[in-house]
Amino acid sequence: MEIVVLRLHHRITRDKRMSSHLALVARAFGASKIVYSGEYDNRIEQTVAQIVESWGGNFNVEYTQNERQYIKEWKREGGVVVHLTMFGIEIDDVIDDLRKVEKDVLVIVGGAKVEIEFYHLADFNIAIGHQPHSEVAALAICLDKITGGKGRKKRYSNARVEIEPCKKGKKVIDKRRKE
Ligand code: SAM
C-alpha cells in the first residue's frame, strides 16, 4: 500500500517551514511522496533532498498546479482519499474502515482555507480530535495510525547515517566512514 500526502495551497512566506516539516513528517512516518499546490517553492525540494541524501529512502516532492485534478486522477486509478479536518470523524472511529479498504491512500492536509469541495472529493474526512491545531501534528498521528506504527520504524538500505538508539547521549553511525 502506497501513501502519498497532498499539501494544499502552499504560501512561500507564511508556510515556508510548515510545508517542509510536513514533507519530513510524511517521509518519517511512511509516505512515499508529498505533492503540494499553491506557490511553487524549490526550498521544499532542497530540504527533503538533503535529508534523503543522508538518511536514505527515495522520498519525492512534487508540485501540482491542479490539486483537484490530482485527487480525481488518484481516485480514478483506484486509490482512496483521506482529508484531515477537525470537522471530520474522529480517527479512532474510522481507522478500521479505512484499513479494510486496502488501497493506496492520498492524505490531504489543508493550509489557510480549505474549500468545501475538498470535503466532498474525500472518501474519508478524518479528525485528529476536534480542536484546531496543526497540520504537522495531524499528519503525524494520521500516518502513524494508518501504518500501525510501521512507517516510522522503516530502515533504509541506502542511508548514509543511522542512529544507534541509546538510553543516554547520542550515537550516530556514519556509514560513509566504512566506504
Ligand atoms: N481554518 C482552516 C480550514 O478552513 O480548514 C484550517 C486551518 S489548520 C491550521 C490547517 C490544517 O491543519 C487543516 O486544513 C487540517 O488539515 C489540519 N488540522 C488542524 N487541526 C486538525 C484536527 N483537529 N484534525 C485534523 N486535521 C487538523
Q: What pLDDT, on a 0 to 100 scale, did the predictor assign at position 178?
A: 57
What's the CA gap between 123 and 120, in Å, rounded? 8
Q: Give the phi and the psi of residue 157 in degrees, each rounded to 5.
A: -65, -25
- The residues facing 27 across adjacent strands are none
Residue 67: HSE in the Cβ half-sphere, 13 Å Cα cutoff: 28
Closest CA to 74 of 50, 105, 101, 119: 105
Binding residues for S-adenosyl-L-methionine: 84
Q: Which CATH superfamily is domain 3-174 in?
A: SPOUT methyltransferase, trefoil knot domain (3.40.1280.10)
For residue 112, pLDDT over 70 is answered with yes
| Centre of ligand 1 from the C-alpha of residue 132, in Å | 6
- Indicate which atom in ligand 1 lies nearest the CA of residue 108: 16
Residues 105, 42: Cα–Cα separation, whole Å: 25
What is the Cα–Cα distance from 66 to 36, expressed in whole angstroms? 10
Burial of residue 3 (number of CB atoms within 10 Å: 0-12, 13-18, 19+): buried
Atom nearest to 128 CA in ligand 1: 24
pLDDT in tens, 24-82: 999 999 999 999 999 999 999 999 999 999 999 999 999 999 999 999 999 999 999 99
The arithmetic mean of pLDDT across residues 89-97, rounded, is 98
- The grid coordinates listed for 138 are 495531524
> CA 128 to CA 93: how far, in whole Å?
11
Separation CA 77–CA 54 (nearest Å):
33
The pLDDT tens digits for 120-147 are: 999 999 999 999 999 999 999 999 999 9
Distance of CA 66 to the CA centre of its chain: 18
List, in sequence order, every beta strand (DSSP E) within 11-79: 33-38, 60-63
pTM: 0.95
Which residue ranges make up each domain of the chain? 3-174
Q: How far is the CA of 156 from the centre of ligand 1 (A)?
A: 31
Read off the pLDDT of residues 155-179 as tens digits, 9 standing for 90 and up: 999 999 999 999 999 999 998 765 5
